[in-house]
Amino acid sequence: MSAIASPPHPVTGLLVRTGENLAAMRDAWLPSLSAEETGRALVETDRLITQLTELQARLAAHADAVDLPGPTGATSTANWLAVQTRHTRTSTHRLTRLAAALDRDLYAPVRIALADGAINPDQALVIADAVDALPDEVSAEVRVQAISVLLEEAAHHDANDLRRLGKRILDVVAPETGEAHEAGLLAAEEARAMATTRLTMTDDGHGTTHGRFQLPTLHGDLLRKALTAIAAPKHQTATHGPRPAGQGRRPGPERLGRALCELLERLPADHLPQAGGMNATLVVTMTLDDLRRDTAVGQLDTGHRLSAGAVRRLACEAGIIPTVLNGKSEVLDLGRKQRLFSKAQRTALTLRDGGCTADGCDWPPALCHAHHHDPWSHSGPTDLDNARLLCPRHHTRAHDPTYQTRHLPGGKVAFHRRT
């Protein structure tokens, strides 16, 4: 006599039937959906996923209670689930963290809201983390009230905004302690951010340096604002000309990278320590003959090499330490720091030139470079008769051998590509 199979648990049976219903929609004819129906279907799909996530979290909590991973040798339910579903351990550990929070009586309202699809899993975790971060002396009643307020706010804010509100939740439910609590949270957060600040840079040997950084949010905001200002369309149009057709106005990775280069080149040398900063301590070693040739190559004290055009361009705006050698490699001039244009000279150039002296350019004097008409490397003097203001774009052209400089009446210059 064959054994009678026991009926599946109601939860298992419901999940099987739900899977069958979803399978029936696998080949549904979506082009027949209107825009309004498509939007509704997207929202309902998200709500269904949220409701299933709540059930999955409850199952994960129950799995710990019945020691589901034990017989397989898995070290945790998260690791067992990662193996069975081939999800990353990061995602399964996040699920089990949500499961542990929702399994507590305190967070029953959060679990119910998740089961109803009123909030999403990210918001549920944010609420639990915010309430768990409250000081130990906060009463259970205040915690319940905080959960209620955050659930209400979840209807209007995503997880990121809700996290910021969660840091100030005591201002709403317990104003007498809220400000001090937020100040403590921010101080601890800033200390952690500063302790984990990192910068790594690696030269790939082919003229490019790769790097990664981790900064406190404050300094990340400062850097983003500075780079965005430099990469702004108005600045870039004045510096590099009109954007190519089809290129968006919003600064992308390439434009932000170029903005970082310009920011580094324009660091004020007189505000940097003597041991740091490119403008302050560039050491260029070249023979005197090479320094005078457009095809020359300069050797930096870092071991890297630059074209003569790049060296002369940097030398116009920044003092350099030249180590010039004659044909017998004898030192002609070592360690003389040349401050090319003084503040008084820059002021006089501002009054005289009024901005970039390239024909048709309206770049203001504060953002222009002081340029030697006769290069310092060709014994050009550092005086006003040999100086003019050029914006970064035209300054680059002045040192680019593919362009010819033509002097115009009235003190302006124009650049034409050589043929």
Q: Read off the pLDDT of residues 123-133 as tens digits, 9 standing for 90 and up.
A: 999 999 999 98
CB of 350 within 8 A of CB of 365?
yes
* Contact status, residue 87 vs residue 81, Cβ threshold 8 Å: yes
384-395 burial code (b ≥16 CB/10 A, e <16): eeebbbbbbbbb
Count the alpha carbons within 13 Å of 406 in the hemisphere toward its beta carbon: 9
Which CA distances in Å does 221 have to 78, 163, 252, 295, 345?
36, 18, 16, 41, 35
Amino acid at the residue 78: A
Residue 122 CA neighbour count, 13 Å, CB half: 9
Domains of the chain: 39-194 (no CATH), 197-242+251-265 (no CATH), 267-339 (no CATH), 343-417 (1.10.30)
Handedness of CA 80, 85, 87, 92 (dihedral sign): negative
Q: What is the pLDDT along the chain (419 residues), one digit of tens a residue?
A: 445 556 778 888 888 888 888 888 888 888 888 999 999 999 999 999 999 999 999 999 999 999 998 888 889 999 999 999 999 999 999 999 999 999 999 999 999 999 999 999 999 999 999 999 888 888 899 999 999 999 999 999 999 999 989 988 888 888 877 667 767 777 787 888 888 888 888 888 777 888 888 988 888 888 888 888 887 766 666 666 666 555 555 557 777 888 888 787 777 655 655 433 333 344 555 555 665 665 556 655 455 666 666 666 665 555 544 444 444 433 333 322 344 576 667 767 877 888 899 998 888 777 788 888 887 667 777 777 888 999 988 998 998 889 999 999 888 999 998 87
H helix count then E strand count, the chain: 18, 11
The two structure tokens encoding residue 15: 């999940």
DSSP letter at 208 equals: -
Q: Which residues contact 269 (CB under 8 A, 6 or more apart)?
A: 277, 279, 280, 318, 319
